[in-house]
């Protein structure tokens, strides 16, 4: 079956025939007994890794195993913010690699992921914030990443709904703006990677929960046990977000991860009012407007570790307090939905994309509260790591051993709540 290509012309053509004749976008294959590589986790990171393994490393026999349905975990639960203005050069390189891939992702996948570089503005509310963000701006310029400092009046000009009065509880003292940052459509990222990977022969197997990892007498990986039978492979890449600890424990690998609920919520849809993304780490709020018109609002993590995909209402209330003060004309909006996802957090708030002590077992985890923005870049370097059994230069610093050796990439101090 040849793959339909999406274009304006194909849309017009199918429209003339009442939109009949669109193909299914990926197959629903039965798992085979053996693959060259298995990816555990069908979110954006896992599907992307399968796509790049097939596209750039020539692997033809790849399976993505997903416990639920693809994109049903954190890929479909985040607030879709994309930026790369991280403090340390290792992080800036990783996230900027991702932003560069975002910029051409729709063309590469022939799928509109609705990447919208509308600008991400991070608000400073205290003298400490001002100093930290200016340090970020200078560090980013040294790393070749765009980031600029705005005075309050300039921030107001960039985002007119913003309240910059001096008499509010957390006045806006300035902002750091990354103009290349923005948002994308999260579901489309999962679907686009799934469709493109499927076209290259990747088997996407949903409702297939991994229940064990099989190892041979030398200790190397030889396959996985799943709810749909045993599947053999000498290479297994784990990209399981909040459940990474659970999966890796099946191979006896212990990682410095803790899983927390992270919540988000959306308002009723309204006309276009909000032109950019605004984040405030200090008062735990980030907000943008989706193309449907809903205001998409993210909160901080709940206090405690959990696997429940839900959190407490007071976390959202706290965030809405901040939103209502910063944007007083949103006070009368009603919130429509809120939900939680489980994020795996490392002690230094930087990810782990690395080989593990078990030969043939690779892990991409620890994205904490900010994994969506990294989806293409993370998937790209993870595929490289799996295919070549060595890290790409960009993910080489993001090892498990850094915690033992003291080479932390400590983004926690500046970005403990919102990435």
Partner 1 sequence: MLLIVCPYCGKRPEIEFTYGGQAHLARPTQPSQLDDQAWAEFLYMRSNTKGVYAERWRHARGCGLFFNALRDTTSDHFLAFYKTGEPRPATPATPADPATHATSATHATSATHATSATERKT
Residues of the shown chain interacting with partner 1 in the complex, contacts defined by CB under 8 A: 243, 245-246, 254-259, 303-308, 310, 312-314, 347, 403-406
How many whole angstroms separate alpha carbon 396 and alpha carbon 390?
8
Which phi and psi (to 5°) does residue 177 adopt? -120, 125
Is 168 in contact with 280 (CB distance < 8 Å)? no
In the complex, minimum distance from the CB of residue 411 to partner 1, in angstroms, rounded to a whole number: 15
Query: Which 3 state secondary structure label does DSSP give 307?
Result: coil
- Judged by beta carbon, residue 355 or residue 380, the one nearer partner 1 is 355
In the complex, minimum distance from the CB of residue 306 to partner 1, in angstroms, rounded to a whole number: 5
- Judged by beta carbon, residue 270 or residue 313, the one nearer partner 1 is 313
- Judged by beta carbon, residue 141 or residue 254, the one nearer partner 1 is 254
Q: Name the strand (E) or helix (H) holding 412.
A: none
What's the length of the chain? 419
How many whole angstroms separate alpha carbon 331 and alpha carbon 312?
21
Q: Where are the alpha helices (DSSP H) in 78-166?
A: 89-103, 105-109, 127-143, 152-158
- Judged by beta carbon, residue 89 or residue 306, the one nearer partner 1 is 306
* CA dihedral for 54, 58, 63, 64, sign (positive or negative): negative
- Judged by beta carbon, residue 149 or residue 403, the one nearer partner 1 is 403
In the complex, minimum distance from the CB of residue 254 to partner 1, in angstroms, rounded to a whole number: 6
In the complex, minimum distance from the CB of residue 369 to partner 1, in angstroms, rounded to a whole number: 16
- Judged by beta carbon, residue 169 or residue 254, the one nearer partner 1 is 254
Residues 130, 132, 138, 140, Cα dihedral to 10°: -120
Query: Which 3 state secondary structure label does DSSP give 255?
Result: coil
Nearest Cα to Cα of residue 342 among 417, 262, 419:
262
DSSP 334: P
In the complex, minimum distance from the CB of residue 285 to partner 1, in angstroms, rounded to a whole number: 18
In the complex, minimum distance from the CB of residue 261 to partner 1, in angstroms, rounded to a whole number: 9
């Amino acid at each position: 079956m040849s793959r339909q290509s999406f274009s304006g012309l194909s849309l017009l053509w199918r429209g003339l025939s009442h939109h009949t004749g669109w193909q299914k976008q990926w197959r629903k294959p039965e798992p085979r007994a053996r693959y060259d590589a298995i990816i555990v986790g069908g979110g954006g990171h896992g599907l992307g890794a399968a796509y790049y393994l097939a596209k750039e490393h020539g692997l033809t026999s790849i399976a993505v195993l997903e416990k639920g349905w693809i994109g049903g975990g954190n890929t479909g639960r985040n607030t879709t913010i994309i930026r790369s203005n991280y403090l340390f050069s290792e992080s800036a390189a990783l996230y900027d690699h991702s932003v560069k891939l975002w910029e051409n992702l729709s063309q590469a996948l022939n799928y509109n992921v609705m990447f919208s570089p509308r600008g991400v503005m991070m608000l400073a509310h205290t003298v400490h914030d001002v100093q930290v963000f200016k340090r970020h701006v200078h560090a980013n310029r040294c790393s070749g990443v765009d980031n600029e400092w705005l005075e309050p009046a300039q921030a107001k000009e960039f985002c007119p709904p913003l309240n910059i009065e001096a008499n509010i509880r957390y006045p806006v003292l300035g902002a750091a703006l990354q103009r290349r940052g923005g948002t994308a459509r999260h579901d489309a990222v999962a679907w686009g990677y799934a469709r493109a990977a499927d076209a290259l022969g990747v088997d996407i197997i949903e409702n297939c929960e991994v229940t064990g990892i099989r190892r041979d007498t030398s200790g190397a990986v030889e396959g996985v046990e799943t709810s749909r039978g045993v599947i053999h492979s000498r290479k297994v890449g784990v990209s399981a977000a909040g459940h990474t600890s659970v999966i890796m424990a099946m191979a006896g690998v212990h990682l410095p991860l803790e899983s927390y609920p992270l919540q988000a919520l959306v308002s009723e849809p309204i006309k276009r009012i909000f032109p950019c993304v605004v984040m405030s780490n200090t008062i735990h709020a980030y907000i943008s407007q989706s193309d449907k018109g809903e205001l998409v609002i993210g909160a901080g993590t709940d206090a405690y570790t959990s696997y429940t995909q839900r959190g407490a209402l007071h976390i959202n209330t706290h965030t809405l307090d901040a939103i209502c003060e910063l944007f007083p004309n949103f006070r009368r909006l009603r919130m429509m939905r809120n939900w939680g996802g489980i994020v795996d957090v490392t002690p230094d708030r930087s990810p782990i994309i690395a080989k593990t002590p078990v030969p043939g077992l690779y892990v991409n985890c620890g994205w904490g509260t900010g994994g969506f923005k990294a989806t293409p870049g993370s998937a790209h370097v993870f595929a490289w790591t799996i295919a070549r059994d060595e890290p790409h230069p960009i993910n080489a610093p993001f090892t498990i051993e850094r915690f033992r050796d003291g080479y932390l990439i400590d983004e926690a101090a500046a970005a403990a709540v919102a990435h």
